[in-house]
Structure 1
């Protein structure tokens, strides 16, 4: 399953122009004032005061995908020390709730670990897919705004 679309957001007018690169169609959709694409939603987490996040907290975002706005919800599962190829690091374990049936086995199929610092760098992702599983680990990093601390 692939989707090749380009989104142009006009938040002031609550519109998103969608260019579908597969069939050449261009549509304009109405969006909520705070709608974001999936990637931007993760980056917007950097505006969250991570120090105040507690186990069981939920973060909510409006995600525009394709031609619809979806409620995107993240649950804070806790904090732990994560072992990476760079050393150990304090991490926040989160669960984005995803749509089951298309790609993911269940709505709770994805678990992510992000650095428990002002960078909130994605460190690790595990996901149960319909046809197997996905494991992703941070391979390299650069140009961070804040220092990142790994320990041995």
Structure 2
């Protein structure tokens, strides 16, 4: 913004314009209970009408809705709940990104294939001896042993 944009703020009578801060572009994942194509259409129509939405991807098999755009996650969740569908934030992460996927709270039978629940116990402490041994022969480690 230049100097000329700030001149009206100097004069109190002309400062009627209020600037809004733009939301950052982000991707919001939500778990929604959907049974039929009517449910899918209802949820996608409600989210496409939301201001700032660029794309809506609905996966009925995984019960997952992905919204991309300049939106607030709470607004998206509220809009889906207003359709009458039960919705919450997507609680899963891909199986291959978790160090200990079979910890008590991480493994979930209701999770889609290839996903586990996102819990701190599944990630592991980077300073623990197990994690040091796991990364010792890793190709991403610049100090790794080159015997292999």
The question of a shared fold, defined as TM-score above 0.5 by the shorter chain, is answered with no
Point out which structure has higher relative CO (alpha carbons under 8 A, 6+ apart): 2
Larger radius of gyration: 2
More strand by percentage? 1
TM-score bracket, normalised by the shorter chain, equals under 0.3
More helix by percentage? 2
